[in-house]
């Protein structure tokens, strides 16, 4: 499974970068995956949590743009790249995890107050809270609920020093999911 190894290699190369929230990118995604597993999620959702920010590892130009305050759309970059090997149950929640934040900011009182500083800053670049019409359109999407649950794991996954399973423990799960698309 060359693509899976390529993905895991990117964590090793780029994952020690700061997520901007006092945890590394890899630690952030390992925490999100652990919360998804603890939440009784399917393998596809656990993989979505583990891979949700992988777009940050793919497009260096996009990364530079984000540092300059331009939104590069890491959720779309990641989802498109992962769709080579993973089914929609993995990629759709990833594609929607930024929209889910905009949705929750618009519809859930107090949600925005709980966001980290970095998340609140990126919210503005990402277009801010949805309008009521945008929120309705989002809620009608087939994977909206998955995107929202992924968002909540994402929001919690910023804890300094939290122990998680190691990255390699997820390799069999990723291989299983990739095989599902090939079948
Ligand atoms: Fe994230």
Q: Determine the average pLDDT of the residues in 86-93.
A: 97
CB 144 within 8 A of CB 11: no
Region 169-178 average pLDDT? 96
Does residue 36 have a pLDDT over 70? yes
CA of 169 to the centre of ligand 1 (A): 20
Ligand 1 centroid vs 130 CA: distance in angstroms?
19
Q: Is there a contact between 24 and 11 (Cβ–Cβ < 8 Å)?
A: no
Question: Considering only 17-26, 36-45, 156-165, 167-176, which range has the smallest mean pLDDT?
Answer: 17-26
Q: What does the pLDDT average to over 82-87?
A: 94
**pLDDT score, position 65:** 67
pLDDT of residue 61: 64
Give 182 Cα–ligand 1 centroid separation in angstroms.
28
Cα–Cα–Cα angle for 132, 145, 20, rounded to 5 degrees: 85
**Interval between CA 28 and ligand 1 midpoint (Å):** 7
Q: Averaged over 171-178, what is the pLDDT? A: 96
Which residues is 24 bridged to in the sheet?
18
| Residue 17, pLDDT above cutoff 90 | no
pLDDT in tens, 140-155: 999 999 999 999 999 9
Q: What is the dihedral of CA 64, 125, 90, 33, to 10 degrees?
A: 80
Measure 52 CA to ligand 1 centroid, in angstroms.
6
Answer with the residue of higher pLDDT: 85 or 182: 85
Per-residue pLDDT, 75: 93
pLDDT greater than 90 at residue 86: yes
Specify whether the CB–CB gap between 93 and 46 falls below 8 A: no
User: How much distance in Å is there from the Cα of 137 to the middle of ligand 1?
Assistant: 23
Cβ atoms of residues 158 and 19 within 8 Å: yes
Q: Tell me the average pLDDT of the chain.
A: 92
Ligand 1 centre and the CA of 144: distance in Å? 17
The total of other beta-carbon atoms located within 10 Å of residue 38's CB is: 10
CA 154–ligand 1 middle distance (angstroms): 5
């Amino acid at each position: 499974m060359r693509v899976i190894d390529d993905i895991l290699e990117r964590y090793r190369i780029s994952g020690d970068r700061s997520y901007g929230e006092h945890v590394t990118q890899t630690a952030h995604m390992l925490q999100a995956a652990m919360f998804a597993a603890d939440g009784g999620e399917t393998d596809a959702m656990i993989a979505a949590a583990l891979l949700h920010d992988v777009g940050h590892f793919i497009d260096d130009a996009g990364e530079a743009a984000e540092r300059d305050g331009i939104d590069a759309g890491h959720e779309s970059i990641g989802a498109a790249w992962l769709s080579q090997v993973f089914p929609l149950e993995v990629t759709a929640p990833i594609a929607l995890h930024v929209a889910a934040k905009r949705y929750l900011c618009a519809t859930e009182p107090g949600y925005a107050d709980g966001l980290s500083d970095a998340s609140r800053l990126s919210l503005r670049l990402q277009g801010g809270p949805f309008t009521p019409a945008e929120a309705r359109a989002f809620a009608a999407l087939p994977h909206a609920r998955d995107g929202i649950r992924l968002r909540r794991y994402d929001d919690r996954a910023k804890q300094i020093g939290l122990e998680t399973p190691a990255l390699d423990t997820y390799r069999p799960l990723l291989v299983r999911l990739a095989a599902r698309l090939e079948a």
